[in-house]
Amino acid sequence: MIHDIPLERANLQGQFSRDFEPVLSVDPGHSVRIDVPNAGWHLELDEPMWPREELQGLGHALAGPIEVRGARAGQTLVVQVDEVVPGSWGITITRPPAEHVIVWELDGRTGRSEGLEVELRPFLGVMGMPPPDPGVHATFPPRPWGGNIDCKELVAGTTLFLPIPVDGALFSAGDGHALQADGEVCGTAIECPASAQLTLDVRDDLELQWPIARIEGAWLTFGFDENLGLAAKKAVDGMLDLMEREHAFEREHAHALASLVVDLRVTQVANGVLGVHAVLPDDAIRFN
């Protein structure tokens, strides 16, 4: 079954909180279609959708939260990315002190600006759930339960696995990116309004500390920390867990093999809490 979340102010949040009432409740295995303005709450380029004073202090415009019936803290939320469609425009802004703006015209496949063209790979920068602690929490840092992961690999056809922090999951998503490279080095991607379809499911046979993802031809594991080295360690630890689980390797054997076949990539350096993802291609190890 597919559910639609209309693009209305009541269905958008600019923070995470376990105390927010869900805008929709779905059964595991159901799909959700969302429409979101860009991260700055713009559906059109020049003006936010709602008065600026109403948006003061808010982060990314996120559709949700969505309750997944029967989901329990300690289980794993499975987020299948079925489709991500960028809007007709996007914007890239470098951070101060030298602010520079590029405005893009988008046609779904190509971005154009002032004689330049880039091929689009749209994805949602934010997919996640609130911390288990009470109160409201900013959308900007990624956390063990997802959030502002900003991973360019999470395009349509991929699956993200997140440890569930609260009963019901209370999942939210948004932050359309038409294109981004690993690192997101200027602080933004091609930030755009977007439409997406996500299928949400629950597993109780997969215990995770940090997110992992299944992309075409590879596994990803993620680590987040203010220290890049610690973020990398968390990503590697997650990959060793995965290699033990998927291939029945002993841990030290997995560690040695990871040094040969697992690549570390800087997911983003834009969010204060830095991201690293480890990549294990399916064909990196052959069994004979």
Q: Which two tokens stand for residue 124?
A: 């949602």
Residue 11 pLDDT: 97
For residue 49, name the pLDDT band (cuts at 50, 70, 90).
confident
Could you state, in order of their start, the residue ranges of all structural domains in the chain? 2-203, 217-284
Assigned CATH topology for domain 2-203: Jelly Rolls (2.60.120)
Alpha-carbon dihedral sign for residues 190, 180, 233, 79: positive
Residues 71-120: tens digit of each pLDDT: 999 999 999 999 999 999 999 999 877 789 999 999 989 999 999 999 99
pLDDT at 139 > cutoff 80: yes
- Residue 54 vs residue 31, higher pLDDT: 31
% of the chain exceeding 70 in pLDDT: 100
Cβ-contact 173, 120 below 8 angstroms: no
| CATH architecture, domain 217-284 | Roll (3.10)
Tell me the angle at which helices 251-261 and 228-247 cross, rounded to the nearest 10 degrees. 120
The values of phi and psi at residue 33, to 5°, are: -105, 130
CA dihedral 232, 92, 191, 62 (to 10 degrees): 70
The confidence score (pLDDT) of residue 201 equals 98
Please, which pLDDT band fits residue 69 given cuts at 50, 70 and 90?
very high
Taking only the tens place, the pLDDT of each residue in 226-260 is: 999 999 999 999 999 999 999 999 999 999 999 99
Cα separation of 149 and 277, whole Å? Answer: 10
Question: What type of residue sits at position 26?
Answer: V
Reply yes or no on whether the pLDDT at 263 is more than 80: yes
Residue 259's H or E segment, with its range, is helix 251-261
